[in-house]
Every structure is written in structure tokens, then in C-alpha cells.
Structure 1
Amino acid sequence: MAAYDDRDGVIWMDGELVNWRDAKVHVLTHAMHYASSVFEGERAYNGKIFKSREHSERLIASAEALDMPMPYTVDEIEAAKEETLKASGLQDAYVRAVVWRGSGDDMGVASAKNPVRMAIAIWGWGAYYGDAKMKGAKLDIAEYKRPSPETIPVHAKAAGLYMICTISKHKAEAKGCSDALFLDWRGYVAEATGANIFFVKDGEVHTPLADCFLNGITRQTVIQMLKDQGITVHERRIQPEEMEGFEQCWLTGTAAEVTPVGEIGPYTFEVGDLTRQIAEDYEALVRS
């Protein structure tokens, strides 16, 4: 496919649809220099954005956490996403809504005088991990750790929080891995670079307590699906050495959907029945 700045189509930007190639910002945009940006990743299935309103609500919450007053309400964001999806002509698509501090009177750390801007882009995007969705992803263990909530707004989906994700995923891919697993600042298992993680042992599911990283909408959906099926789910702090005793593992996220994991560092997992079943159930849910 063409580079992301050189495609046909339109992007919703500050209240109107503009030509894809014309959706540009100035080099002195505050977000480019100080990471004053938040975003959402969403998927549309059969022409409908899954959990759309929850994503719009989280986008506003993330902006508020970064002290950026949102120029749009949830209803206005919903209408903008629907307009953009319709204009894209796509039924199955990835939806990226982004909010950022633009260029204005301020160019230091403070940016209260600068306008808060918003854009929505939609494109076709297949399996995030490629064929790993069938055979199981291979994960490296990242050298960086997820920070304490006392150091940064960890529950915002903020661009700055992904800096260590990019570094860690690059290093993982250089080793032939699909992704990297983060521990948190205390040494507990946290998440992958853009997805939450689940483990299975003796028919029960274990997932890290989301106390220092984003509590993903897909994560919450899968937990409820499991509980509805009568499967016990433990949300708790997990020591890395516990991975040796887990039988199955999967990742969840809007981009990842439900992706099985076959390896994390020295630990191996089977792509078992529960993993396959929850992946199939999730696929059925988003297309229902």
C-alpha cells in the first residue's frame, strides 16, 4: 500500500472532510515537540464501529488527563466518525481519532494558548500480527518498564506513553519477534506494546491488574465474555516467573483483536482450546 501521507480518500479534520493528502499540520505544532496528543484506535465491522461510544468517551477522558479541553462532545465525535466511515466506503476498517495541541502563541512546555485540534482517519487494516493470529505470536521481554501512576497519567491513551513501546517493538522485531512484553516498575507482568495480556492455567484465566496501564476496551469486553461463560477470571499482580506454569496465553486490543501467544522469552504456551474459542467468540461478537 502507499505511504500513509499519500493515499486517496478523505480525513475528517477540525469539523470538515479534507482531501487525504491535504490533512497536514505545521512543523511547530506543539504535539510534535511535547507529545501533547491523545488518540483512539477502533475497528469497524460490517459498517459499524465496535464500542464506538466507549472509545469517544475515553478520548475525551484522555484529553482531560493531559489538560486539553476537548472542542467536541461525545455526540459530535460519534457523528464525525460516522461521516468519515461513510465517506471512506469501507465496511471493515480501522478508525483512528486523534486530538492534539496545535500551533499557536505558545511554543514552550506550556501551551494553554494553543488550539486543541482533532482528526479522524479510516483505512483498511488486516491482522495486526499477521499469521501470528493463527499460530501464536512470539514476544520478547522489554528492557523498559511501565511507569508508576505517580509519574505520568498512565490511564490516558496518550502519545507520549508509546515512546518506549516503539523502541521495544523495534528491538523485538529485530530478534524475529512480533512484539514485546512489559513488566511494570515493581517487576510485575504488565502488557505488550499495544495490547493487554491474558494467561490460562487449569481452566482459569489470569490477567494483570490494570493499575498502571490502559484498561483496554477489548480487555474489558473479553473479561465479561469469559465471566458470562462461567470461566473464572483473576485480575491480579503476576510475577514473571509464574509464566512458566501457564498453559495458554493471548493478547487483546482493538488492533490485535484476540491473538494467541506461543512464546514469551524463555516461556512457551500452547494455542489451546480456550484461546481459540475466545478468539472465535470475539469475532462473532464484533460482527453481530
Structure 2
Amino acid sequence: MAGSYADRDGQIWMDGQMIEWREANVHLLTHAMHYASSVFEGERAYNGKIFESRKHSERLVQSAKLIDFEIPYTIDEIEAAKQQVLAASGLQDAYVRAIAWRGAGEDMGVASAKNPVRLAIAAWEWGAYYGDAKMKGAKLDISQWKRPSPETIPCHAKAAGLYMICTMSKHAAEAKGCSDAMMFDYRGYVAEATGANIFFVKDGEVHTPDPDCFLNGITRQTVIGMLRDKQIKVHERHIMAEELEGFEQCWLTGTAAEVTPVGSIADYNFEVGALTRDIAESYEKLVRA
């Protein structure tokens, strides 16, 4: 599917009903447009089933609470709406986006307690997030921006406003011919990519940053479980910048990224090795089981 996301055939679930894709609009004075009061989920369906669907719906509701609003639908209602959207799309393999936000209402300043909370869900066809990087390994830049302290943002919410520096970092990386950028956190520890968690391999063991100031991804948790089932030791810890030189393999995880090998981060190079390929293949089998 090509072209503008605003100009497509199909239907989107919006505030309890299915509407035509091109009519899924909001007012210019929607609070979320001005103050980023929105949360969202990115999910993938494989063979007609959304992987870890309920966990995504639960996180959506929790993210809303973390930025101080309540979604006016239950988890079961959100689940039913996603299934309705997926069925209407006619797709077996699809990307599903649920988004909740503070809409237009009586408030049009920083405060927005009087404004309605709205919810929409759409689905579309989407291939590999990093293109052919699944075979060759993605090329990453290092972002100038750092993941902030938990004292400054609700870092465990999947909230739109927290992605501003991610967008800027990814644009800068793409301008250098890279697929994405790796970010450090406010202390200088390795954190994540702009929309994916990161893993490293050294001497047959796996190291991944402790998600104490960024999102603990659902795919990340799934992959850690897979590794432990394979009796592979996983170290969740703070990783220093100088350690990058000693790692042998690297991969990214995320709903969009799935499991994507990394070939380089700035001047550091990594092998797309056997463990990386095994985890990528095992994840693919799991989501399609």
C-alpha cells in the first residue's frame, strides 16, 4: 500500500463505530495536537491473529493513566474493536494502530480535564520496518539526544510526546544513510533505538539495557523469555558506551522491528551471527504459531 495515510480505501474504528478511512478526522483544536496528550500502541497481526493483543491493550490503558486520563472503554471492548478492524481490513498480516487522545472540548490550554477522551483503531499492510536489514544487519547512528530521567517524564508510558526526540534522531540518522539511531540515557548508559529495544551478544551470553528509564517493550520481554527457554544467559543491566567495542553481535526488538540484526552502530561493527539468526527465526515461528 502506497501513498498518503490520509487518502486510502478502507475503514477505521473511531469512538465506537466504523467509519470510512478518509473521514477519520479530528478538529484543528484537538488538545493532543497542541499538547501531545495521546498514547498509542503498535501491534502486528500474523495469520489473522494479533500477537500479544491483550498485553498491548492493557499497556494502552496503563499509558493513558500515566499521563493522567482514562480511556472510556474496557480492555475487552478494545480487544473486540481491534478484531472488528482486522476483519474489516481483509488482511491476515497487518499492522494495527490503536491511539487514544484528549480531543477538542471546553479546554484549550495546558489543562484539558474537561475535554473528551477519544479512541481510534486502524490496520494496514506493513512489511519489514528496516527493509533488507533483516538479512544484512541495520546500520545505526548514535543520537545526540538522550532518554530523559524518570523524574522528568512518565518514561514507561507509550505516549506520543516522548517520541519527539526519537523522530529527530531518526531523521538525522537517515540523512547519514543509516536506518536508525541508538540513544544513550541521561546517565550515559546505552538505552535503546528510536522505536526498538537493543540486545548484544558476547561470549555466548546476551546483554540488554535495564529499562529503568525507557519502555520495556512487549517484544523485548518475549525475546528474553525465548532466550531463557533456550538456556542462554541474559544480563539485564546498565551498559557503558565503551563496552560497545567488545560485543560480537547485536539486534533490535520491537513490534515493528520484530527481531532485526544490527551490522554497525557508528564505528562499531557486529556480526550477523548464529544466535541473532536463531532468535530471529524462532521469533518468526512463535508469532505465526
Distance 1:2 1:109 in 2: 34
Secondary structure of 1:251's counterpart equals strand
2:80 aligned with 1:53:
no
Secondary structure of 1:211's counterpart equals coil
Q: CA deviation at 1:241?
A: 0.9
Please show how residues 92-241 of structure 1 align to structure 2 within 5 Å.
92-241=93-242
Q: CA deviation at 1:229?
A: 0.4
Distance 2:98 2:251 in 1: 26
Distance 2:174 2:161 in 1: 21
Q: CA deviation at 1:276?
A: 0.2
Corresponding position of 1:77:
78
Distance 1:112 1:105 in 2: 9
Please show how residues 37-48 of structure 1 align to structure 2 within 5 Å.
37-48=38-49
Residue type of the alignment partner of 2:274: D
2:37 aligned with 1:22:
no
Identity rate, percent: 78
Distance 1:10 1:224 in 2: 36
Distance 1:134 1:191 in 2: 21
Deviation string for 1:12-66 (max 9, x for gaps)?
0000000000000000000000000000000000000000000000000000001
Distance 2:235 2:111 in 1: 42
Q: CA deviation at 1:173?
A: 0.2
Secondary structure of 1:57's counterpart equals helix
Secondary structure of 1:71's counterpart equals coil
**TM-score normalised according to structure 2 size:** 0.99
Distance 2:241 2:45 in 1: 35
Corresponding position of 1:68:
69
**TM-score normalised according to structure 1 size:** 1.00
Residue type of the alignment partner of 2:153: I
Corresponding position of 2:35:
34
Secondary structure of 2:150's counterpart equals coil
Residue type of the alignment partner of 2:13: W
Q: CA deviation at 1:101?
A: 0.3
Distance 1:214 1:193 in 2: 11
Distance 1:228 1:270 in 2: 23
Secondary structure of 1:259's counterpart equals strand
- RMSD across aligned positions (CA): 0.3
Q: CA deviation at 1:251?
A: 0.1
Q: CA deviation at 1:91?
A: 0.1
Distance 1:70 1:82 in 2: 18
Stretches of 4+ aligned residues off by more than 4 angstroms: none
Q: CA deviation at 1:2?
A: 1.9
Gap regions ≥5 residues in structure 2: none
Residue type of the alignment partner of 1:268: N
Corresponding position of 1:281:
282
Number of positions where the alignment pairs a residue of Structure 1 with one of Structure 2: 288
Secondary structure of 1:85's counterpart equals helix
Residue type of the alignment partner of 1:99: A
Q: CA deviation at 1:266?
A: 1.1
Q: CA deviation at 1:69?
A: 1.1
Distance 1:189 1:61 in 2: 26
Q: CA deviation at 1:120?
A: 0.2
Distance 1:134 1:72 in 2: 41
Distance 1:171 1:142 in 2: 8
Distance 2:143 2:222 in 1: 26
Corresponding position of 1:88:
89
Q: CA deviation at 1:172?
A: 0.2
Corresponding position of 1:258:
259
Distance 1:156 1:134 in 2: 32
Distance 1:26 1:180 in 2: 33
Secondary structure of 1:281's counterpart equals helix
Residue type of the alignment partner of 1:249: C
Residue type of the alignment partner of 1:263: S
Deviation string for 1:162-207 (max 9, x for gaps)?
0000000000000000000000000000000000000000000000
Gap regions ≥5 residues in structure 1: none
